[in-house]
């Protein structure tokens, strides 16, 4: 039953991942080293994410903007922590119109400095606040090792950069966006996230708080899927962003920022995929239903298939009828399984005589014979059910792989099984680093919401434990 053209997941997960990305035609290695082509089947997934998020973002007053693709070097160098984070990975332009530029231009690796400089120029009064701006764009990071969607020279993302009169509003905004990201997982990606705050060591440079959503991949490693940050007035002070406040004094606005990227495609692949290829959640699948006619030259088969296709289009289902008679049904089964199409409908002469067809669900390979009459109207519900099954499956898989540990020995054992390890520690950065070192890469993914039980001690320094964290190996 396994597709032979791709590596098995448990043979070599990294190779399986690359095989799926390419064979499902999500991407291709592009004309430029380290860069990828986002092909239609992959880009369409990103478009569905964009549609969902644009609607949600607009729901709390977000406005989209577009700022330049390059940043003058002097502006880029203004904020030290920021530079340290990004400078080693920048791509820099030095020639324009055939001449050397007066000042080099950095291709944006992120747009904090551009947003800050724009706000400095355009913000004037408390009346202008809040500013809830978001940008959809690509960013470039000169990475040495690259993996499609997970790490590469260029990826697509959205970056929200917002200003508020009070710190409370800014932090509330960061938390609200974390909630929206979490619901993106629940509602359309069928991915359950763990959500929480980052530790001091793991939070974004310059942020007061970083909030994260983390998912668990098939290989037991965690993937950070989206973050939102509360910054206080740090950026405002660095970039000189002020406004006339209500009391008629100059004030510094409070900052929040947030983003998700095409990394989410990687999450979908690695959470849901199996040895036959991609398994796509119906809400984002470019093809939700594929109709495969069997013995299509026999009387009535294509007619029935075409009729069903029309009915499904009327139900706003994204449907493909594959009529290509130079391919066998078996070839088509394997092809659309590779592409992760959630539901396949097989229509052949024998079933047709009884007014029936066969439904095959990608999520678990289950097949059921069903009546063709009024089938189309039921498909949206069946797709909803597939979504729920996929979420439930991913949810149990996550829950089963959350282990608890009280000391480093238990921690190591749990980490070897793959998944998250919940452990309390004192919260000090040095102990956090020590845990990572002692466990060969178990990093604090997020702080759990529950309180630490009384009397728990840090397994490293033996002092009172104050933070309960989820640790994991991570991408």
114 scored as a contact of its own copies (CB under 8 A): yes
> DSSP state, 126?
G
Taking the C-alpha atoms of residue 258 and residue 266, their distance in angstroms, rounded to an integer, is 19
Among 14, 95, 368, 377, binds its own copies (CB under 8 A): 95
Please say which residue, 67 or 438, places its beta carbon nearer to its own copies: 67
Please say which residue, 68 or 300, places its beta carbon nearer to its own copies: 68
Geometric angle at alpha carbon 443, from 437 and 448, rounded to 5°: 135
SS3 64: strand
19 scored as a contact of its own copies (CB under 8 A): no
User: Residue 271 CB, nearest distance to its own copies (Å)?
Assistant: 23
240 scored as a contact of its own copies (CB under 8 A): no
User: Residue 102 CB, nearest distance to its own copies (Å)?
Assistant: 9
Q: Please name every residue paired with 134 in a beta bridge, in sequence order, or none if there are none.
A: 64, 160
Per-residue string for binding with its own copies, 154-173, x by CB under 8 A? Answer: x-x-----------------
97 scored as a contact of its own copies (CB under 8 A): yes
CA neighbor of 249 nearest in space, from 126, 167, 162, 163: 126
96 scored as a contact of its own copies (CB under 8 A): yes
> DSSP state, 204?
P
CA neighbor of 321 nearest in space, from 282, 287, 292: 292
User: For residue 254, which phi and psi values (nearest 5 degrees)?
Assistant: -95, 145
Helix axes 301-314, 375-400, angle to 10 degrees: 70
User: Residue 168 CB, nearest distance to its own copies (Å)?
Assistant: 23
* E strand or H helix that includes residue 225: strand 222-232
Per-residue string for binding with its own copies, 286-325, x by CB under 8 A? Answer: --------------------------------------x-
Here the tokens at position 18 are 């690359």
83 scored as a contact of its own copies (CB under 8 A): no
256 contacts 266 by C-beta, under 8 angstroms: no
User: Residue 138 CB, nearest distance to its own copies (Å)?
Assistant: 6
Other C-beta atoms lying within 10 Å of the C-beta of residue 79: 19
Q: Which stretch binds its own copies (CB under 8 A): 87-95, 166-174, 291-299, 331-339?
A: 87-95
71 scored as a contact of its own copies (CB under 8 A): yes
* E strand or H helix that includes residue 86: helix 80-86
**Residues engaged in binding its own copies (CB under 8 A):** 28, 30-32, 35-40, 43-44, 46-47, 63-72, 75, 87-98, 104-105, 107, 113-114, 117-118, 121-122, 127, 133, 137-138, 140, 142, 144, 153-154, 156, 324, 326
């Amino acid at each position: 039953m396994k597709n032979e053209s791709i590596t098995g997941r448990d043979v070599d997960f990294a190779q399986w991942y690359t095989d799926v990305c390419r064979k499902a035609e999500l991407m291709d290695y592009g004309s430029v080293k380290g860069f990828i082509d986002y092909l239609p089947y992959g880009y369409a997934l990103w478009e569905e994410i964009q549609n969902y998020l644009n609607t949600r973002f607009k729901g709390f007053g977000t406005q989209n903007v577009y700022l330049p693709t390059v940043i003058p070097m002097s502006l880029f160098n203004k904020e030290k922590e920021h530079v340290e984070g990004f400078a080693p990975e920048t791509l820099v332009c030095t020639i324009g119109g055939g001449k050397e530029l007066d000042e080099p231009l950095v291709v944006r690796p992120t747009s904090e400095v551009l947003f800050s400089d724009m706000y400095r120029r355009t913000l004037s009064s408390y009346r202008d606040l809040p500013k809830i701006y978001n940008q959809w764009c690509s960013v470039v990071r000169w990475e040495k090792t690259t993996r499609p969607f997970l790490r590469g020279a260029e990826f697509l993302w959205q970056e929200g950069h917002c200003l508020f009169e009070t710190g409370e509003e800014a932090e509330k905004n960061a938390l609200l966006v974390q909630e929206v990201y979490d619901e993106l997982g629940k509602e359309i990606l069928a991915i359950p996230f763990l959500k929480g705050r980052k530790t001091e060591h793991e939070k974004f440079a310059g942020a007061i708080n970083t909030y994260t959503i983390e998912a668990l991949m098939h290989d037991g490693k965690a993937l950070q899927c989206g973050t939102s940050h509360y910054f206080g007035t740090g950026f405002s002070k660095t970039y000189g962003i002020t406004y006339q406040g209500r009391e008629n004094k100059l004030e510094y606005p409070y900052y929040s920022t947030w983003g998700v990227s095409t990394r989410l495609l990687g999450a979908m692949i690695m959470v849901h995929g199996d040895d036959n290829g991609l398994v796509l959640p119906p809400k984002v699948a470019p093809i939700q239903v594929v109709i495969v006619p069997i013995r299509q030259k026999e009387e009535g088969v294509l007619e029935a298939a075409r009729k069903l296709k029309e009915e499904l289009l009327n139900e706003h289902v994204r449907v493909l009828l594959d009529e290509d008679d130079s391919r066998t049904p078996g070839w088509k089964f394997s092809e659309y399984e590779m592409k992760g199409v959630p539901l396949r409908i097989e229509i052949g002469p024998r079933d047709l005589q009884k007014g029936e067809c066969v439904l095959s669900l990608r999520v678990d390979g289950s097949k059921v014979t069903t009546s063709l009459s009024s089938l189309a109207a039921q498909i949206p519900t069946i797709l909803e059910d597939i979504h729920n099954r996929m979420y439930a499956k991913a949810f149990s898989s996550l829950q089963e792989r959350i282990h608890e540990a009280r000391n480093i020995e238990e921690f190591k054992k749990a980490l070897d099984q793959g998944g998250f390890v919940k452990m309390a520690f004192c919260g000090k950065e040095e102990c956090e680093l020590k845990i990572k070192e002692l466990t060969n890469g178990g990093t604090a993914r997020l702080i759990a919401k529950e309180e630490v039980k009384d009397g728990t001690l840090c397994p490293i320094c033996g002092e009172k434990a104050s933070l309960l964290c989820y640790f994991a190996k991570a991408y």
